[in-house]
Amino acid sequence: MRMLVQPVTRNKKTTARITVIAMYLGESDSLVSLLRKDFPELGIVKENCNETSWIDSVLWWANFDLGTQPTALLDRDLNDADFLKRKSDYVQTPIPREGLESLWKKVIELGKVGLVFNAYGGQMNRLNSDETPFPHRAGNLYKIQYSVTWHQPGDEADRNFTTRAKLLHEFMTPFVSKNPRSAYLNYRDIDVGSTKKWSYEGGKVYGESYFNGNYERLVDVKTAVDPNNFFRNEQSIPPRSIKTEKNNKSFAEH
C-alpha cells in the first residue's frame, strides 16, 4: 500500500490530491472487509477495486490502462524520453498534524513535485537493522519518495525541476530520520554523496545513509572479496585500501 501526494489544479485553484493505491492477493470482498476494519477512514467500497490477473497488475503498476495486452511489455521504445529526479527519506516518528498541513502547502507552492509514502512495518519489523545489508526495517514507519518528472530537455529545465525536489527534501528535515539521515539506495540520488577516489571516508558519506550501521561490515566484505575495487560505481562500497597493480603496495585515501 502506498499514498501519493500531488498538486492538482481544478477550477483555477491548486490543491493537494491524496491517492491511496495497493495490490492485494485475494478477492475484493475480503479486501473491503479488511480495510473497513483497519482503515475505516478510507471509506473503501468494492467499486474502488479491480480484480485482475497478476500479469495485468504488472501492466497497471506500469501505468498502462486496464485491458492493455501483455505484449505491450515487449515494446522497448514505448514512451518518449522523460527526465526524472527521485530522492528519499525515512520517517521513524509520526509527523504531527501541523507538520502535514504545512507539507500540503509546500507541495502546492512547489507545483510539479510530488511525494509517495511507502508503508513499512508488518513483516519488515521482524528483522533488525543489522540482520541484512538493507537496514531500513524495524523502527521505520514508512519511506518517502520525492518525485518529479519532466519532458523538456536542457540545462535550465533540469535545474528548475531538480531544485524543486531538493527544496521539498530540505523542507522535510525536521520530520525524518537523523544521524544519519537515511536514504534508499535504488533511487541513485547523487545528492546523498558520491566519490571518484573510493576512499573509506569518502564512501562513508553516502554509505551510512544507505546502510546505516552496516557500512563497516560491508567495507570488510568488499575488502575481502574485491580488494582492488574492480566492481565500482560512484556510490559503491569501497575497500579499506586499494592495491596498485604495478607494485602490489596498498594505499588508503582519507
Q: Measured between alpha carbons, how far is 107 from 234 in angstroms, rounded to an integer?
A: 31
Catalytic residues: 187
Cell digits of residue 49: 477495486
Residue 129 neighbours by CB distance under 10 Å: 17
User: What is the three-state SS of the chain?
Assistant: CEEEEEEEEECCEEEEEEEEECCCCCCHHHHHHHHHHHCHHHCCCHHHCCCCCHHHHHHHHCCCCCCCCHHHHHCCCCCCCCEEEEEEEEECCCCCHHHHHHHHHHHHHHCCCEEEEEECCHHHHHCCCCCCCCCCCCCCCEEEEEEEEECCCCHHHHHHHHHHHHHHHHHCHHHCCCCCCCCCHHHCCHHHCCCCCCCHHHHHHHHHHHHHHHHHHHHHHHHHHCCCCCCCCCCCCCCCCEECCCCCCEECCC
Q: What angle do CA 113, 116, 120 make, to 5 degrees?
A: 155
